[in-house]
Structure 1
């Protein structure tokens, strides 16, 4: 809900323009914000005014006004004085604070709605009913983006992201935990995943330059129905997790680009250990020396092309063949044969997956 500080800033701004003092009290007569020293007890006067049918009333040479959230009275505004000008300023100030309360309440309600939507805490019928009540379009193409900072969520990062997308009526920014910020982004029909990826890079660059946060962004696939937003969120969450293992140098990770890493991530650890034992007889491919690992990675980068790999490594073709023969004797896998190369590549990824879980005690 709206904070007292926001109300205080609002009435101070109005006083600066009009030179008329204002005070906002809660329904028990306690001061929430004021531009003048409040003396005396207002609880009885406030209670009597709130229980009356009047929206405004002159009390002790001051003007009292009810501030509601369109449903019930939330505060009482006092304008100091009893002239027509004081009454007009009091009405304007009341309208301003009331508009802020309604806006903040709607934002709070939307925040709760999207949090429950992302976590699958809503029934299908409730999703569409609440979306209609909160003026959220149901049939809009959306994608969920997760923004994770190394130090966890902070107000500066959250407000910067909100500032980037607050002007877009169908975009929404929220946070489910302390580690990440969630952006539910409207995607226009003509926009592709390349556009979304570029947006992710823009978010990374903006947060680094404005608040000094080095973030990672992951996003799921786009969905056309609001009930499918949770699906995009789960995909983005998986993209973030898988990206840390197999794409650790990438700042923007797309679920659609995870490839075989997505499958490996879902393998149970006992199955991974059994696979590695069968392939390497209990050894690890990372037991090879740095020269061999560099050769293997470069060979894969060049699609198993011996000539191109030897050229890029600045070695003779026969030297590369010797290394591949040495690897075959050690593992029984000839990387020049496609099937063996695929087996070895998967094994490398499985070991990387296992090492990540072991390192992070997952």
Structure 2
């Protein structure tokens, strides 16, 4: 039943009542006044939000008071924040908003869901309305606001503990990093970015002031050179100490407060609050550090789930290649992993070559990053020291797309690990599930040859040509005899003298006999190269200017890489 307007009119009590009210309602000094937005951020639950007249949220707040929705307003002096308790008799929005406007109330806080009519009326009167989450205890909120107004520093310490508890509650709901970022952004009033250890954005929430520039801000944060030096080595972060750094990102005042996301003493990512001109307070630091702890829990949970999925996916693909799954079972398992098993696929096998090299897990992370950046669908799994994946794409030339992807992986590996090299083999197109084992076998063979040849590009199985002949077991002895006849004396010389003339000869052939390119490849002067080539011909007792001799020597070098080192 709607209540009459008179019940919400501001009543001026007698002098005695006025004095009594003032004793209960001391005014806060002007210098310590906080705004409605600050009260919402610093004293109310994390999920509380301003749903009407946000443009008036800079109004000052002098006091907080809990009222009943079915009772007249008490004595008010203006700039109070009213916490409206529900009652059996619903109030009429017109009456409440009109009475609050005449009493110069700073804001009204009401349990959600908030009546749309009340929000429209409040918007017209420029009266901020705060939606409180169900279950909030109004008397506790009233005390929290008054405590903030009277004892800000003490309140910050208590508020920090409250926020941590609320973030823990959010984390237990398994809402994900996106909801955590949204909650932190709402509380801090700033943009929030959650990044993993590779600076990939895992979740973010833009603040209204940065909405139009958010993409540019995210690009800045992906630049590792922008990371504070103290946070650059995730294995050497200060232990038992919460750290955060403020840094300017751009000359127009955009800055960030960043803290590492740490688990088991190792940095797992970074949590940043982004703002323009607004200073970062001590409470901001505390909240961001608490948020980093919650993000660490959520990232650990996601990793546990991801590891379980990897094991299941690996077992599935292993069984598929071994032929222990029927086509119907394979299709059903593919649907479980949200992957279309009916489209054509290409098997790709990737492994590190040479020693030392990074771990296969780092290779897996590298490959997954390239897949994500290029929006490519693939089933990936690790077996021993190899990473195997089945690649699919809507492009007509699937092999060309597979080559481009494999080359992108190689380029990413060079950037990330300057001295490490990859061997990549690409199998043929598998039009249906029955051909997957054949494509995988071809890719494995190509990867083995790429590793032995120290190939600097991915090898496609159909392009192996003569290498297929050179790896036939029944020809092994004859091929090694040819190797010894053509370059055996050079191999012996290098072993005795600890020289590297074989490397010079290989570089010469890789550069197609071009002296300038060979010298650049070896980082030597052309005269030094000519001396080495003359010395090689003296040792071999061969004339490399003859076409047939050059072909035989080149073939012997390939045999040595394919069979000799293994032998």
Taking structure 2 as the reference length, what is the TM-score of the superposition?
Answer: 0.35
Highest RCO, 1 vs 2 (Cα 8 Å, sep ≥ 6): 1
Indicate if the aligned counterparts of 1:207 and 1:213 stay in contact, CA closer than 8 A: no
Indicate if the aligned counterparts of 1:143 and 1:223 stay in contact, CA closer than 8 A: yes
The CA deviation at 1:131 is 2.7
Corresponding position: 1:122 with 2:122: no
Q: 2:387 aligns with which of 177, 181, 192?
A: 181
Q: Quick one: structure 1 residues 204 and 339, their matched pair in 2 at CA, closer, same or farther if it must change by over 3 Å?
A: closer
Q: 2:509 aligns with which of 300, 308, 328?
A: 300
Q: Quick one: structure 1 residues 137 and 273, their matched pair in 2 at CA, closer, same or farther if it must change by over 3 Å?
A: same
Tell me the equivalent position of 2:241.
none
Q: 1:143-165 CA distances to partner (integer Å, 9 max, x unpaired)? A: 122233534433x6546655765
Q: 2:172 aligns with which of 12, 23, 26?
A: 12
- How far apart, in 2, do the equivalents of 1:275 and 1:264 lie? 11
Alignment of 1:46-65 (within 5 A): none
Q: 1:67-118 CA distances to partner (integer Å, 9 max, x unpaired)? A: xxxxxxxxxxxxxxxxxxxxxxxxxxxxxxxxxxxx9999876543321223
Q: 2:331 aligns with which of 102, 120, 132?
A: 132
Indicate if the aligned counterparts of 1:142 and 1:224 stay in contact, CA closer than 8 A: yes
Indicate if the aligned counterparts of 1:117 and 1:227 stay in contact, CA closer than 8 A: no
- How far apart, in 1, do the equivalents of 2:552 and 2:449 lie? 20
The CA deviation at 1:342 is 1.3
- How far apart, in 1, do the equivalents of 2:508 and 2:459 lie? 25
Range moving further from structure 2, 210-219 or 128-137: 210-219
Tell me the equivalent position of 2:163.
none
Secondary structure of 2:545's counterpart equals coil
The CA deviation at 1:263 is 3.2
The CA deviation at 1:185 is 0.9
Structure 2 gap ranges (5+): 1-167, 180-305
Q: 1:335 aligns with which of 535, 544, 558?
A: 544
The CA deviation at 1:199 is 1.6
Indicate if the aligned counterparts of 1:173 and 1:183 stay in contact, CA closer than 8 A: yes
Indicate if the aligned counterparts of 1:215 and 1:251 stay in contact, CA closer than 8 A: no
Alignment of 1:254-269 (within 5 A): 254-267=460-473, 269=476
Tell me the equivalent position of 2:201.
none
- How far apart, in 2, do the equivalents of 1:292 and 1:165 lie? 40
Tell me the equivalent position of 1:50.
none
The CA deviation at 1:210 is 7.8
- How far apart, in 2, do the equivalents of 1:206 and 1:308 lie? 25
- How far apart, in 1, do the equivalents of 2:452 and 2:514 lie? 27
RMSD value over aligned CA atoms? 5.1
Q: Quick one: structure 1 residues 339 and 173, their matched pair in 2 at CA, closer, same or farther if it must change by over 3 Å?
A: same
- How far apart, in 1, do the equivalents of 2:459 and 2:172 lie? 46
Secondary structure of 2:565's counterpart equals helix
Q: Quick one: structure 1 residues 346 and 131, their matched pair in 2 at CA, closer, same or farther if it must change by over 3 Å?
A: same
Tell me the equivalent position of 1:352.
561
Secondary structure of 2:562's counterpart equals helix
The CA deviation at 1:130 is 1.7
Tell me the equivalent position of 2:426.
220
Tell me the equivalent position of 1:238.
445
Q: 1:232-269 CA distances to partner (integer Å, 9 max, x unpaired)? A: 22222222222222125x26444345453443233454
- How far apart, in 2, do the equivalents of 1:246 and 1:300 lie? 13
Indicate if the aligned counterparts of 1:157 and 1:211 stay in contact, CA closer than 8 A: no
Q: 1:136-187 CA distances to partner (integer Å, 9 max, x unpaired)? A: 6554221122233534433x65466557658979521222x23122221103
Indicate if the aligned counterparts of 1:172 and 1:184 stay in contact, CA closer than 8 A: yes
- How far apart, in 2, do the equivalents of 1:306 and 1:161 lie? 36
Indicate if the aligned counterparts of 2:511 and 2:517 stay in contact, CA closer than 8 A: yes
Structure 1 gap ranges (5+): 1-7, 18-102
- How far apart, in 1, do the equivalents of 2:533 and 2:312 lie? 63
Indicate if the aligned counterparts of 1:335 and 1:341 stay in contact, CA closer than 8 A: yes
The CA deviation at 1:357 is 1.0
- How far apart, in 2, do the equivalents of 1:138 and 1:14 lie? 30
Indicate if the aligned counterparts of 1:220 and 1:239 stay in contact, CA closer than 8 A: yes
Indicate if the aligned counterparts of 2:483 and 2:557 stay in contact, CA closer than 8 A: no
Q: Quick one: structure 1 residues 234 and 356, their matched pair in 2 at CA, closer, same or farther if it must change by over 3 Å?
A: same
Indicate if the aligned counterparts of 1:219 and 1:253 stay in contact, CA closer than 8 A: yes
Range moving further from structure 2, 140-149 or 288-297: 288-297
Indicate if the aligned counterparts of 1:223 and 1:232 stay in contact, CA closer than 8 A: yes
- How far apart, in 2, do the equivalents of 1:293 and 1:207 lie? 27
The CA deviation at 1:301 is 4.9
The CA deviation at 1:294 is 7.1
- How far apart, in 2, do the equivalents of 1:211 and 1:292 lie? 27
Corresponding position: 1:272 with 2:461: no
